[in-house]
Amino acid sequence: MLDIKITKTTAPKEKPAKDAPLGFGKIFTDHMFIMNYTEGQGWHDPRIVPFQNISLSPAAMVYHYGQEMFEGLKAYKSDNDEVYLFRPDMNAKRTNNTNTRLCIPHIPEEDFVQAVKAVVDIDRDWIPTTPGTSLYIRPFIIATDEFLGVAPSNTYLFMIILSPSGAYYESGLEPVGIWIEDEYVRAVRGGMGFAKTGGNYAASLIGQVKAHNDNYSQVLWLDGVERKYIEEVGSMNIFFKIDGKVVTPMLNGSILPGITRDSTIKLCKSWGLDVEERRISVDELLEAQKNGKLEEVFGTGTAAVISPVGKLRYVDDVMLINNGEIGPLSQKLYDTMTGIQYGKLEDTFGWRVKVGE
């Protein structure tokens, strides 16, 4: 158990109006969580303080060699004002898997979840309530030694900041166009692809710029060796419904093990669908599409939950999926997952965690 010291703000900020457009990641709440790590002492001084700037030496290691990690989850408010998290223990576990890869000290899972709950509880009045909105939670760790040598840092900061966010889809699920990147790659096996760390995103920006220049909203990455097998989308895992079966790339070390991915697999299996986690080549997709067997394509991730794909571009081929419309499986997954998250459906898997008790 962390002994969290709480300093409340004396100057609360004005909250956004009830139906103001929130967007994503631009508005921050009144408080944040911070905890320090010092070699020999471990994690110490857990505290909740007013949201504020931090001051670091320009030589702080995180600025130079990118030793940092982050997580992403959400808090949802139900119709009767209960506040829920969705499988936060999974974020805690993934934090430590990422930390191992980046030589960052582990945080006990229960401390991670306790810190998230504590800061969300303090700012629970910031959780928006219009349909589809939520409070985005961003835990992260940065290396803070003042040192230009290449080595793991001896000091770190763990912080949690909170951002009210708007509905990902303003007017119902909307299929997106996706660019299969054939030149650049995001990650390789043995690299950091399975870790949630800024470096993977830095490597992905150039592909995103290419996709946006061609009016595609997201990039689908191929494997880093043969550039032939499907990996994942920028910040989402990817699923295909091919000839009645649900197919998704297996976790091979270079893709991020999404919690929404795991939940999608469990839901599909509970509905009696065949789910295959395996290698999928672009050629297989092109073939399936030609034969009319590529029934649905969708991304999964905390931000969008389920993101139906209407169009997939690969070099000179543009595959139209399900006539550019939302498929029934995508819609059912979205309705079920959000129903559980907002407390509208029965939580048969035990995924919901209440804040404030």
Ligand X SMILES: *Cc1c(COP(=O)(O)O)cnc(C)c1O
Residue 256 binds to ligand X (criterion: CB under 6 A): yes
Pick 68 or 232: Cβ nearer ligand X: 232
Type of residue numbered 304: A
Q: How far apart are CA 15 and CA 33, in angstroms?
A: 19
Stretch that binds ligand X, among 27-35, 163-171, 257-265, 349-357 (CB under 6 A): 257-265
Residue closest to 275 by CA, chosen among 288, 286, 287, 261: 261
Query: If DSSP codes are grouped into helix, strand and coil, which group holds residue 114?
Result: helix
Pick from 99, 165, 235, 330 the residue near ligand X by CB under 6 A.
235
Pick 236 or 282: Cβ nearer ligand X: 236
| Per-residue binder mask for ligand X (CB under 6 A), 282-301, x = binder | ------------------xx
Residue 260 binds to ligand X (criterion: CB under 6 A): yes
Least separation, in Å, of the C-beta of 318 and ligand X? 24
Residue 302 binds to ligand X (criterion: CB under 6 A): yes
Least separation, in Å, of the C-beta of 231 and ligand X? 9
Least separation, in Å, of the C-beta of 352 and ligand X? 16
Joined tokens for residue 46: 């857990």
Residue 337 near residue 263 (C-beta atoms within 8 A): yes
| C-beta contacts of 150-153 below 8 A and 24+ residues apart | 150/65, 152/67, 152/103, 152/104, 153/61, 153/62, 153/67
Residue 338 binds to ligand X (criterion: CB under 6 A): no
Pick 60 or 246: Cβ nearer ligand X: 246
Cα torsion 197, 219, 326, 306 to 10°: value is 0
Pick 90 or 319: Cβ nearer ligand X: 90
17 contacts: CB under 8 Å, gap ≥ 6? none
Q: Which residue is nearest to ligand X (CB)?
A: 258
Residues at the contact surface with ligand X, assessed by CB under 6 A: 72, 196, 232, 235-237, 256, 258-261, 300-302
